[in-house]
A = this chain, B = another copy of it.
Amino acid sequence: MALALEEAQAAASRGEVPVGAVLLGPDGELLAKAGNEVRANNDPTAHAERLVLTRAAQKHGTSFLTDCDLWVTLEPCAMCAGAISLARIRRLYFGAEDSKGGAVLYGPRLFSQPTCHHRPEVYSGFQESEASELLRSFFAARRS
């Protein structure tokens, strides 16, 4: 999670919403890391989680990331939770909960839907306060 937080901090310094993600392979090896790149890429789908899934799959030479684990600083949104399921991620570890935009514990609770075809194991609360504080200070600075 430390590495995901570093990616989130780097995203903030680029003016992006500070969320970072890391994808690890079956033996814990680093496959991809990214922060949000929505502004940099002019891409509404360039969330950190979506980017590491795409990049790791391309590196791996397969569209399935079975036995891979995703670490992300914030609870994934519906788009990212959907992508996590499509990629068949083994375990999802996230930091802060997101009651407004999250789709795992909140909102549509995608992995609990009967039509969800692959559910990762989900663990939350990792360095939650650091992840939340990054987001809080980012948005406070933009409002001031």
| Chain A contact residues, CB within 8 Å of chain B | 38-39, 41-46, 50, 53-54, 57-58, 60-65, 77-83, 85-88, 99-103, 106-110, 113-117
Interface pair B82/A80, CB less than 8 Å apart: yes
24 contacts between A and B (CB under 8 A): A38-B63, A41-B63, A42-B61, A42-B63, A44-B53, A44-B54, A44-B65, A45-B45, A45-B83, A46-B54, A77-B86, A78-B78, A78-B81, A78-B85, A78-B103, A79-B79, A79-B80, A81-B82, A101-B115, A102-B115, A107-B116, A108-B110, A108-B113, A108-B115
Interface pair A42/B65, CB less than 8 Å apart: no
Closest 3 CB pairs of A and B: A79-B82, A78-B82, A107-B115
The docked-state distance in angstroms from the alpha carbon of A108 to that of B133 is 30
Closest to A99 in B: B115
Q: Which of B45, B64, B87, B102 contacts A50 (CB 8 A)?
A: B45
